[in-house]
Structure 1
Amino acid sequence: MKLFQLFVYILLISALVSCAENADDAENQDPKGEEVEKEIEVVKDNSNEMDEHTLSNYNEAKTTHLHLDIAVSFDEKKISGTAIHTIENLKGVEEIVFDTKALIISDVTIDGGQATTFEMGEYDELLGTPLKVAITPETKTVEIAYETTDKTEALDWLQPGQTAGKEKPFMYTQGQSIFTRSWIPVQGTPAIRITYSARVKVPTDLMAVMSASNPVQKNETGIYEFDMPQPIPCYLLALAVGDLAFAPIDNRTGVYTEPSMLEDCAYELADMGNMVTAAEKLYGKYLWDRYDVIVLPPSFPFGGMENPRLTFATPTIIAGDRSLVALIAHELAHSWSGNLVTNSTWNDFWLNEGFTVYFERRIMESLYGKDYTDMLALLGYQDLMRTIDEEEPAMQSLKLNLINKHPDDGMTDVAYEKGYFFLRLLEQTAGRDNFDAFLKTYFEEHKFQTITTEEFVDYLNKNLIKPHNLSVNVDEWVYGEGVPDNCPKVVSTRFNAVEASIEQFYKSGSVESIDASEWTTHEWLHFIRHLKEGTTPEQMAMLDDKFHLTQSGNSEIAAIWFEKSINFGYDAIDKELEAFLMKVGRRKFLMPLYTALAETPEGKEKALAIYKKARSNYHYVSFNSIDKVLGYQP
């Protein structure tokens, strides 16, 4: 921990002060310092745990509103302009500190142009460089002139050839976990929430969209105005610029993507409006006005990112049969768990993701039935057990200690799936009606707030466990390693039939015993995952000849088939594997494939040959991880 951080932390503990935030008491101002009308009620954040992944002094002076006035240059591959922070000086300090990483800061003024002093602090390889600005107790705004650099981790600049249309460039941001500070000077912590507005200038043949109010068509000026009146943590600030078109799904949902993909994407996401309605019936009104999705080019490193009002999604979910839309249900569910109620620190990440996986599966159950959801849950359990086998014990608990670690290190299936099964246990123990009532109240009472694990456990005890006299091993689930023995058991009759087919295949030595004519994506995933150790290349070829798995257009099936083929020495995939790795940038797929290749000297040589060509197609989030797997130094 750097000296500055340690000093702030010691001061906090010695004074026994709370980081409680009450936005109702803050001045709500526009970038010029003039008071504007409050759009929504923001309730108090009672968090008293400092976030160790920020260099800012957000507990002393904090941003309440941000206005961006920026230009996006594809020729120079940079964003430049000003970030105007409306601030609240909580403790009358003479300095406010912002997080930056790989940014050039050219000037800082306060209160509409008044000169002030600023300095860049000591660089931290993980956290970046603090920007220290002199203020007074009366300072209302801080305006920072800045530009990004080629070291900015949040930005992905795509050449026309990397897009679907092949004619125009594309750029998008990825803020989670601590990357927003590399494209905007901010106080980079989820512990505080801000409203924001923006004026963004882009080339006139492109369109800009953000995690805010959005246009539905291009304009002639290339200038777009945005507003986000609901307060959000800064990792949810997002921008995409490209040759975009929009198709409505219903009156409050729609999809953005490149024109050549619009029809396919609109077909695939036709149930989005129904998903929003199903979610509201479970846990209360959707509070973000619209729910739209942008399907990005293939380099996007995640399946989806829950940027409010505008989920960023990978094109790998476009399977042609709507079989992978559970991802959209997941990102929608974040509109309650994560966006509405947010983890105070990245140590509490499971509060975002475990709740969201639970909510996602409840949405899917309401739309597609329990059999469908049980398959999702069993696949999730398989992912969890694989992660438990791979992670050190300290990383197997829900509540983490990520000091001196990147928050991304904690973004594993422990947070997602162990969190889900803990909540499923609570549901089974309390009864679904009681648990639904508890969750609905939890979201309502904590909306637009942040929360720590300890605060949630206290709330859980007071509002569910004690009132219903439940016996639940909460501490073992939250703070213990591994998966407790009372993890809910999930049974899928459809997966049982798949397992019978697997046994018959090995027993008979023939693929004719397998009737997969009505299998869903999930049944295929279960089948391929359970191919036995020692499966020969000849047996893989038999399966491939009948079911054409190497040529699968379903990215989930293709990825797990390629991984098993590498494991079993089935080299007939090599051409398609390389094409897949050249095109797809989703880290979920890339990491297992490169890791499997790296297990042997021959495989690693093959992996490096592909990676040298493919690396420029990947976002920083992906290639930063793969560099370590392959020992690659650019």
Structure 2
Amino acid sequence: MRNLAPLSLLLLSACAVPAATLQTAPLSSKATPMVSPVLASADAADPYSYARPEIARVTHVALDLALDFDARQVSGTAALDILAKTGADTVVLDSNGLEILSVKDRSGTALPYTVGAQQAGKGAPVTVTMGDARTIVITYVARNAEALQWLVPEQTAGGKHPYLLSQGQPTLNRSWIPTQDSPGIRQTWDARITAPQPLTVVMSGLTASPPVAAGAGRRAFRFTMDKPVAPYLIAIAAGDIAFRELGPRTGVWTEPVMLDRAAAELADTEKMVDAAEALYGPYRWGRYDMIVLPPSFPYGGMENPVMTFLTPTFIAGDRSLTGLVAHELAHSWSGNLVTNANWSDSWLNEGVTSYFENRIVEKLYGTRRAEQEAALSFASAEEALAEEGSDAPITALHLAPAQATPDGGAGGIIYDKGAVFMRTVETIVGREKFDAYLRSWFDRHAFQPATSAMFLADIRANLVKGDADLERKLMLDAWVYEPGLPANVARPQASAFAAVDSAAAAYGATGRVSKAAWAGWTTAERMRLLAKLPRDLSQQKLAALDADLGLSQSGNNEILFAWLELALGNRYAPAVPVAEKFLATVGRRKFVAPLFETLMKEGEWGGPIAKRIYADTRSGYHSVTQGTVDRLVLTEK
């Protein structure tokens, strides 16, 4: 697959049209500026979408939908603009559970369509015979959509109104929007959404106009996204939410009772945008707003353009976990601006972004914090390699078909090995030269998808430039296509955690951690200490740790999670009620799944506890979290 770059570039030229072209592409079947069909190489084709973009591709989605909180459904229309090769008379869309009521052309004439067989994890194809039409209007209902989570008032901070949130990545948006749901098929979009008063709706697009009355106690909200984005980046939230400005182009939405805490934690956001622009060029999306969601949100953050979705679990009161915000902001370049064409190259989104995040953190918070967080990331990569095996195919950045599922791969590889690769290149070529290259990469490929082959061809053409010695030093193919860590890996500074590692080493002899030292450590240092402690600890040592460091009462969710994982893995009964409360109030999969997994590994002690807690908490989790934990707790071993 390493020598498939020419085919990949051809496919991308057919599937990725610059923004200006997308916005002005004629809809007439007589004028179709599409590139002739090309062979889709294994490097760029997306096997998890039914779409055939080389024949007919959705370029714009116009939604007109009503939110029904009682029925937990959305209904209305999706008008799709289609760019097709000359003579093409069908278009294939992705759907998962949608009830399609009709398909018509722009004039209202019914168009024939078929819904194919449902496949697990992929949904069903919708094939529309469009003839000469280049706009089709689909009337539909989305019930029980996997992407959407409907919360009752008791699940919100305010406790008075219901709430809706979405999570579309990787392929869940096909459960509420009928379109071609593949990361390489970029689409502009607009939306009109009606919701019952007094709820407010936000989306991952710019607000097109103020809300207006829509009859029967409802209001209509309008949004637009004039930049072509991956379909998974269309996002929505609705509830009792308020806005606080943070800077000229930044602000935060959240429930009113959360607004002061959220705004205080996010006070550095405008500076983050400035720092990111200084590194890799202009922020191209207009505003950078965020919404801090209820705790059931399954991820730390989601980089939806214009409206980053955030978990409240990052609020620690001291901005020590705002690397999460830097990460989601960095996606405005790596992920949203340049997107992986399919799921085998997720590292192009997450690995590059993790590197970029660390550079933003360094600019705002200094070298010490950045080096410590980079060292934690490196340790995560090593942990993934130890768990998977350093020669396992899943430890290559470019994933083989067996691992390249939409939610596949290992985070320690996609995120952390990817970031280590970027730091290694920086170390070898020099920061100034590498920064100039990355900025040029984002400029050359703005609003386009990319593959590993495409990235390596680009770095060779624009950074290596035929320098055989530099090519040898970089070991590019080994990093991307081979498992493990290549010999040229840039390791973190040994001094980053010198004091903490010394304390961890001494713990084996003393069984205690200095309260004074712990009080003066950063969050990264505290996490390092907990990770370095022996995994097998007595009940007495666990009790002393908790008493000395106040771990069960920590207001930092990363610290609390690390403590609970250690304590439950040692069958420490006093940690059970703390874990039960934590799991009942937090839906972030990063925390929830490992704790249930830890309990289940503890057999007759932990298994019944896990099943009891999950029976009470499952309904409060998003489908993303449910799917993972179901396999851990409900599947018979």
Fold match by TM threshold 0.5? yes
Match of 1:114 among 106, 109, 115: 109
Match of 2:133 among 133, 139, 152: 139
Q: Secondary structure at the match of 1:176?
A: coil
CA contact (8 A) 2:354 2:416 kept: yes
Instruction: Give a deviation string over 1:181-210, Cα, whole Å, max 9, x none.
Output: 011001011112111100000011101000
Instruction: Give a deviation string over 1:419-470, Cα, whole Å, max 9, x none.
Output: 1011111001101111011001111011011111101111111111235551
2:406 aligned with 1:412, yes or no? no
Structure 2 counterpart of 1:70, one-letter code: L
Tell me the residue number matched to 1:192: 185
Structure 1 residue 411, shift from structure 2 partner: 5.5
Counterpart-to-counterpart distance in 2, 1:497 and 1:219: 59
Counterpart-to-counterpart distance in 2, 1:17 and 1:337: 17
Match of 1:391 among 388, 391, 409: 388
Structure 1 residue 228, shift from structure 2 partner: 0.6
CA contact (8 A) 1:96 1:133 kept: yes
CA contact (8 A) 2:403 2:409 kept: no
Tell me the residue number matched to 2:592: 590
> Which shows bigger deviation, 50-59 or 603-612?
50-59
2:148 aligned with 1:148, yes or no? no
Match of 2:156 among 149, 159, 163: 163
Tell me the residue number matched to 1:462: 461
Match of 2:578 among 576, 579, 594: 576
Structure 1 residue 402, shift from structure 2 partner: 3.5
Instruction: Give a deviation string over 1:106-127, Cα, whole Å, max 9, x none.
Output: 1000123122111111211121
> Which shows bigger deviation, 423-432 or 377-386?
377-386
Q: What is the identity percentage for the equivalent residue pairs of Structure 1 and Structure 2? A: 40
Tell me the residue number matched to 1:40: none
CA contact (8 A) 1:213 1:226 kept: yes
Tell me the residue number matched to 1:3: none
2:288 aligned with 1:291, yes or no? yes
The CA RMSD measured in Å over matched residues stands at 2.4
CA contact (8 A) 2:330 2:357 kept: yes
> Which shows bigger deviation, 404-413 or 562-571?
404-413
Q: Secondary structure at the match of 1:199?
A: strand
CA contact (8 A) 1:31 1:85 kept: no
Structure 1 counterpart of 2:239, one-letter code: G
Tell me the residue number matched to 1:255: 252
CA contact (8 A) 2:569 2:598 kept: yes
TM-score (norm 1): 0.92
Tell me the residue number matched to 2:560: 558
Tell me the residue number matched to 2:220: 223
Structure 2 counterpart of 1:329, one-letter code: A
Q: Secondary structure at the match of 1:410?
A: coil
Q: Rate the CA distance shift 1:455–1:518 in 2: closer, same or farther, 3 A.
A: same
CA contact (8 A) 1:511 1:542 kept: no
Structure 1 residue 543, shift from structure 2 partner: 1.4
Tell me the residue number matched to 2:121: 126
CA contact (8 A) 2:113 2:129 kept: yes
2:341 aligned with 1:339, yes or no? no
CA contact (8 A) 1:304 1:331 kept: yes
Match of 2:619 among 601, 612, 616: 616
Q: Describe how 1:455-494 pairs up with structure 2 within 5 A.
A: 455-466=454-465, 469-470=469-470, 471-491=473-493, 493=495
Match of 1:213 among 193, 206, 211: 206
Counterpart-to-counterpart distance in 2, 1:488 and 1:345: 28
Q: Secondary structure at the match of 2:421?
A: helix
Counterpart-to-counterpart distance in 2, 1:219 and 1:499: 59
Tell me the residue number matched to 1:425: 424
Counterpart-to-counterpart distance in 1, 2:280 and 2:319: 25
> Which shows bigger deviation, 191-200 or 498-507?
498-507
Counterpart-to-counterpart distance in 2, 1:85 and 1:322: 42
Instruction: Give a deviation string over 1:457-492, Cα, whole Å, max 9, x none.
Output: 111111112355512111111011122232211125
Structure 2 counterpart of 1:399, one-letter code: H
Tell me the residue number matched to 2:33: none
CA contact (8 A) 2:515 2:549 kept: no
Instruction: Give a deviation string over 1:136-169, Cα, whole Å, max 9, x none.
Output: 2x3220100111122x210111111111111111
Match of 2:633 among 604, 618, 630: 630
TM-score (norm 2): 0.91
Question: How many positions carry a matched residue from both structures?
Answer: 609
Structure 1 residue 531, shift from structure 2 partner: 0.8
Tell me the residue number matched to 2:607: 604
Q: Give structure 2 stretches of 5+ with no counterpart.
A: 1-6, 30-37
Tell me the residue number matched to 2:355: 358
Tell me the residue number matched to 2:4: none
CA contact (8 A) 1:68 1:84 kept: yes
Instruction: Give a deviation string over 1:66-106, Cα, whole Å, max 9, x none.
Output: 10000000010000000000111124212111000011001
Structure 1 counterpart of 2:456, one-letter code: V
Q: Rate the CA distance shift 1:26–1:414 in 2: closer, same or farther, 3 A.
A: same
Q: Secondary structure at the match of 1:105?
A: strand
Match of 2:233 among 231, 236, 240: 236
Instruction: Give a deviation string over 1:390-420, Cα, whole Å, max 9, x none.
Output: 3361211100124586311226221111110
Q: Give structure 1 stretches of 5+ with no counterpart.
A: 1-11, 35-44
Tell me the residue number matched to 1:503: 505
Q: Secondary structure at the match of 2:529?
A: helix
2:50 aligned with 1:55, yes or no? yes
Structure 1 residue 22, shift from structure 2 partner: 2.7
Tell me the residue number matched to 1:374: 371
CA contact (8 A) 2:27 2:82 kept: no
Q: Rate the CA distance shift 1:260–1:513 in 2: closer, same or farther, 3 A.
A: closer
Structure 1 residue 511, shift from structure 2 partner: 4.0
Instruction: Give a deviation string over 1:352-380, Cα, whole Å, max 9, x none.
Output: 11110111100110111111011111111
Counterpart-to-counterpart distance in 2, 1:577 and 1:411: 25
Q: Rate the CA distance shift 1:450–1:63 in 2: closer, same or farther, 3 A.
A: same
